[in-house]
Amino acid sequence: MGEAKVVAEGLTKRYGDVLAVDDVSLTVHAEEIVGIVGPNGAGKTTTIEMMEGLRKPDAGRCTVCGFDSVRQNRQVRERIGISLQQAGLPEEVTVLEVLRLYASLYANPVPVGDLLHQFGLEDKARTRTEKLSGGQRQRLVLALALIGRPEVIFLDEPTTGLDPQARRDLWDVIRGLKREGRAIVISTHYMDEVEHLCDRVLVMDRGRILASGTPRELMNEYGPESVVEIELDQRHVDTAALSGLDAVTGVKVDDERILLYTAHTARTLMDLAAYAQRMNLPLGDLRTRSAGMDDVFIALTGRSVRA
Amino acid sequence: MSRLARSMVELTRFHARSLHRNKIALFFNIIFPLLMVAIFGGLYGTPAASRGGGLVDGTGRVLTAFDFLMPGQMAVMVTAAGFVTVAITMAGQRRDGSLRHLLSTPLSVGSWTAARVLANVLMAGVQGVLLFVFAALLFDVSPPANLPGTIVVVLVCTLASLSMGIFVGTLVKGEATAMAVVMPIYMVLIFLGNSAMPLLDAPRFIQVMLPWVPTYHMTEAMRAVMMFGEGLGAVTKELAILGGLAAGLLGIALALMRRQYTIR
């Protein structure tokens, strides 16, 4: 693991009566991607903004590359690249023009041509930003975040609103940034993103860190061994009966699907089949799968990440 | 080129693009005032032909239609670019987050504002040249009688209108909201600015309002210096009012922007 680039200790932020972030501590090293996950309002963005030096914590402190985010804000801004949650790009300017503008703000910027090539935007160089697709916009935002050769990159929900292919393309880019030795903090509410991208994860809800570790550690510690998903008419759901099925460790009703968390898939399936036959229940769209970060989140908070 | 110089050049170009790439802005900043010159100039003919229309200012000086039209439309131009376009552009950039994104880099609020001033001053130069070339070609209007003085007056007028634009831009978010705020004010500034029609014989309740209208002072100062070749000493009062407005509003706007975009 590389040297510590971001060290946050006891970050706390309150808006009126609402405690938005409550005593969050975090260290991010070079060549590491740390994910902050949680539903809307969990405190992810406020946490990231305090680390970036865009928001002053009420308590706690954060250093980035050894500089205090508040007192040495200017030095911090020279060393970080930011992709804000609301990926704002100026309009009525071309991709090339906005890259040149941002390049002029740093002492030793990456050549604009190199960034256009790296992010596959060469053929869009003379296109106005408002005419870019969602994926192209996000790639441009990432290019802007990198233009000052930052040691630390903060990406606040960078793939929100992108189609699956564009998301995966962006993941490849982010992995490449990690290989270049950068420390990356990414907030997201996509659990698959966390599983595929992050070396470590913080699960946040209501301003607090509920758990942290590698995705595998969290799944081992908080996730069930596997999940049986069935489509069942809500009127026929008897959660108490389903909880009593063989090896079931928990039941979750999620929209029209029932999630049975189980320690032994085969035994649960056999018992479920017998129960359905006894009760004359149609089992629609039955699936089994290993537990994922979604299940970790549900186990930790009792609700879905998008709730 | 140093980093500061590079960033000022790029930022100024960036701001300048907002003044001419947007078709609505281009219309209000250049085309509309030139149309006004074409229409009203067409009604009155050349300056010589329009003399003797009965227009006399407070000092007894006989005025031609172009003594109103040229300063009036110059004031319309700098107000459209500095007040209307800047307020709407800035409000849009605040809504879509691009201003916040830009100011999350090492760029300071002061540098952003300095480049904005530079872009609008350059734009005012282009507007002034276009206005006089257009009027000279169509109606044989002479160049500014006191060119250095005119440059100073236009500079102060640009700063005053820009300060109003940045001030509104720091208070509202979104182009639609900004439009709703600035367009009624812009209309008042045009009609009470002595720029659309002479207000020498306007009813008393209008005359009472005129000293409170920045564009009125702009056209008064520009008429004296630009059209009659008077020195800056003759328009000290107007320059002081416009300069004071610019300093006051820019000061408040900068303080607001620092609150909005630096660590809080």
Same domain, A138 and A36: yes
Rounded distance between C-alpha atoms, residue B193 and residue B171, angstroms = 24
Residue A69 structural domain: 4-220
B17-36 tens-digit pLDDT:
877 788 888 898 999 999 99
Residues A76 and A164 in one domain: yes
Structure ipTM: 0.84
Question: Which residues 39-58 in chain A show a CB within 8 A of chain B?
Answer: 52-56
The answer, for A72 touching chain B at a CB cutoff of 8 Å, is no
Whether residues B3 and A86 touch (CB distance < 8 A) is answered with: no
Give the integer Cα–Cα distance in Å for B261 and B264: 8
Question: Does residue A179 share a domain with residue A30?
Answer: yes
Q: Which helix (H) or strand (E) holds A152?
A: strand A152-156
Residue B42's pLDDT is: 83
Which of A54-68, A129-143, B44-58, B150-164 shows the lowest mean pLDDT across its residues? Answer: B44-58
Q: How far apart, in whole angstroms, are the C-alpha atoms of residue A11 and residue A2?
A: 23
Q: Which of residues 78-137 of A touch B (CB under 8 A)?
A: 78, 82, 84, 86-93, 97, 100-107
- The structural domain count of chain A equals 2
Nearest Cα residue in chain B from A97: B14
Which chain A residue shows the shortest CA-CA distance from B258?
A: A54
CATH of the domain at A284: 3.30.70.980
- Measured from the Cβ of residue A216, the count of other Cβ atoms closer than 10 Å reads 11
Residues in CB range of A271: below 8 A, 6 or more apart: A245, A246, A247
pLDDT given at position A283: 76
Name the DSSP class of B157: H
| Pair A275, A192 in one domain | no
| Domain match, A43 and A65 both | yes
A250 occurs within a structural domain: yes
Residues A133 and A233 in one domain: no
Q: Is A303 inside a domain boundary?
A: no
CA of B89 vs chain A CAs: smallest distance (Å): 9
What is the predicted pLDDT for the residue at A303? 61
B44: pLDDT strictly greater than 80 = no
What's the pLDDT at B56? 67
Q: What is the pLDDT along chain A (307 residues), one digit of tens a residue?
A: 779 999 999 999 999 989 999 999 999 999 999 999 988 888 998 999 999 998 999 999 999 999 999 999 989 999 999 988 766 788 889 999 999 999 999 989 999 999 999 888 999 999 999 899 888 888 899 899 999 999 999 998 888 777 888 788 888 889 988 999 999 999 988 888 888 899 999 999 889 999 999 988 888 777 667 888 888 777 777 888 888 888 888 888 877 788 888 878 888 889 988 988 888 887 778 888 877 777 777 777 766 554 4
Nearest to B79 by CA among B206, B180, B192: B192
Inside any domain, residue A302: no
Interface contact flag, B104 A93, Cβ < 8 Å: no
State which of A185, A203, A220 marks the end of a domain: A220
- pLDDT of amino acid B154: 97
Q: What is the pLDDT of residue A288?
A: 86
Q: Are strands A32-37 and A183-188 parallel, antiparallel or unpaired?
A: parallel
CATH code for the domain of A56? 3.40.50.300
- Same domain for A33 and A161? yes
Is the CB of A84 less than 8 angstroms away from the CB of B101?
A: yes
Q: Are residues A178 and A250 in the same domain?
A: no
A295 in any annotated domain = no
Residues A48 and A190 in one domain: yes
Task: Count A/B contacts: CB-CB distance under 8 Å.
Answer: 82
Question: At which of A178, A204, A220 does a domain end?
Answer: A220
In a domain, A296, yes or no: no
Of the candidates B182, B134, B128, the residue with the CA atom closest to the CA atom of residue B153: B128
Q: Give yes or no: residues A31 and A122 share one domain.
A: yes
C-alpha distances out from residue A110 to A61, A83, A105, A117, B107, Å: 30, 17, 11, 12, 17
- Any domain includes A305: no
Number of DSSP helices (H) and strands (E) in chain A, helices first = 11, 14
Interface test with A, best of B12, B15, B104, B116 (most A CBs within 10 A): B104
Give the tens place of pLDDT for each residue, B184-225: 999 999 888 877 667 767 788 888 888 899 999 999 999 999
B59 or A32, higher pLDDT: A32
A15 and A124 inside one domain: yes
> Mutation test of the interface with chain B: which of A50, A98, A104, A106, choosing the one with the most B Cβ atoms within 10 A?
A104
Instruction: Identify whether A298 is part of a domain.
Output: no
Indicate the average pLDDT of chain B.
89
Please say which residue of A220, A237, A254 terminates a domain: A220
Q: Residue ranges of the domains in chain B? A: 3-261
Would you say residue A297 lies in a domain? no
The pLDDT of residue B53 is 61
> Given this model, what pLDDT does residue B34 score?
94
Interface residues from chain B to A (CB-CB < 8 Å): 3, 6-7, 9-11, 13-14, 17-18, 21-22, 92-93, 96-102, 104-107, 262-264
- Within this chain, do residues A167 and A235 fall inside the same structural domain, yes or no? no
Across the interface, which of A88, A104, A148 has its CB nearest the CB of B98? A88
Amino acid identity of residue B193, one-letter, is G
Alpha-carbon distance B161 to B87, whole Å? 10
Nearest C-alpha in B relative to A51: B263
CA-only gyration radius of chain A, Å: 22
